[in-house]
Structure 1
Amino acid sequence: MMRWCRGAAAALFAAATVPLTLAPGAAADPEIHADPQGPQEFAITSEVPTLAELDAQIRLLVATPAPDWVKAAQLEGGDRAVVVPKMIYRVGFFRSPKGSSMVTGPETHEPDRHTAVINASRQGAPTVAVVAEWRRIDGRWKLASKSLCNGIKTIGLPIPCNFQ
């Protein structure tokens, strides 16, 4: 019995010390869903964000257990807005195995504003397509608060939109 406990403890310790990485779901185009960085370093700083970057950001927000401060750095509303992606992650709406999301075009671009479409689906429900906006703040593209509010309304989450 003692030998089993030591073995189980060692296995738990080994599992707990594995670094957090984003593990996007399987996709037909692995480049779109690749994770070039760990979640703590994730930032979209390119002049014009790509669909792959925006898609990775949405997956970080709603399909990973990344820490609140990491998610807050991706949102225009910062700490005040983290409640939205946290709740979506907890209920598992748009993450494997029962759901998914993908950012697609059409896109529009201005120097500090970019739009694209977030397509989110979950088992037993129709796909939801939301035109989302990102804002460039301090050189980083962040999901706009008004897009979070549209998402709350679209999927019917009981969250007040008071982080704008």
Structure 2
Amino acid sequence: MFKQMAVAAGMVVAVAASAISGAPAAHAAPDFDENFAITSDVPTLSDLDAQIRLLVGTPAPDWVKAAQLEGGNRAVIAPKMVYRIGFFRPPRGSSLVTGPETHEPDRHTAVINASRQGAPTIQINAEWRRIDGRWKVASKSLCNGIKTLGLPIPCNFG
């Protein structure tokens, strides 16, 4: 109980300090949309880019990330590890989804370009699958990313 009160008091102080300084309040709102979904017939590069940033550039909860992945909960470990390591998120890294693209009714491909300070840009040919009306990162694309980055994760969520 005391710990909860201390946390609440700390948040009040942070919000008050933020209001005085004009800086945005810490923890005012999450930096991700928990309801994010790509539901259009053809995903745009902007949609795909936002999805990748949600996966590897935010601290979104597992259930939010699982909803973006063909492998669901089994596959969350990959983007979660990439986020924790901080490879492709500011301030030292970034990612951008670009073409060339291909499109079929339930399959779409594009290129994920990921970079981090002091290292060359990595390009991953990625695939998305349309499952239950939502575009999700295909498990084989996660496996390609895991292999490319040399992460110690078994690719058994396909």
* TM-score relative to the length of structure 2: 0.85
| CA distance, structure 2, for counterparts of residue 85 and residue 9 of structure 1 | 29
Q: Structure 2: 5+ residue runs without aligned partners?
A: 1-5, 17-24
Q: Among 18, 29, 48, which residue is 1:19 paired with?
A: 29
Residues 63-102 of structure 1 mapped to structure 2, 5 A cutoff: 63-102=57-96
1:32 is aligned to: none
Q: Structure 1: 5+ residue runs without aligned partners?
A: 23-38
CA distance 1:10–1:150, change in 2 (3 Å): same
Deviation readout 1:55-89 (Å, 9 max, x if unpaired):
00000000000010000000000000000000000
Give the CA deviation at 1:9. Answer: 5.6
1:46 is aligned to: 40
Secondary structure of 1:129's counterpart equals strand
CA distance 1:9–1:107, change in 2 (3 Å): closer
Do structure 1's residue 161 and structure 2's residue 155 form an aligned pair? yes
| CA distance, structure 1, for counterparts of residue 56 and residue 11 of structure 2 | 31
| CA distance, structure 1, for counterparts of residue 127 and residue 151 of structure 2 | 19
What is the RMSD of the two structures over their aligned residues, measured on CA atoms? 1.9
| CA distance, structure 1, for counterparts of residue 99 and residue 27 of structure 2 | 39
What is the letter of the counterpart of residue 11 of structure 1? V
| CA distance, structure 2, for counterparts of residue 9 and residue 46 of structure 1 | 39
Give the CA deviation at 1:123. Answer: 0.9
Give the CA deviation at 1:18. Answer: 2.0
Residues 57-68 of structure 1 mapped to structure 2, 5 A cutoff: 57-68=51-62
Secondary structure of 2:87's counterpart equals coil
Paired residues, number: 144
2:12 is aligned to: 10
| CA distance, structure 2, for counterparts of residue 44 and residue 77 of structure 1 | 16
What is the letter of the counterpart of residue 92 of structure 1? G
* TM-score relative to the length of structure 1: 0.82
1:30 is aligned to: none
Secondary structure of 1:40's counterpart equals coil
1:122 is aligned to: 116
Q: Give identity over the alignment, percent.
A: 74
Secondary structure of 2:153's counterpart equals coil
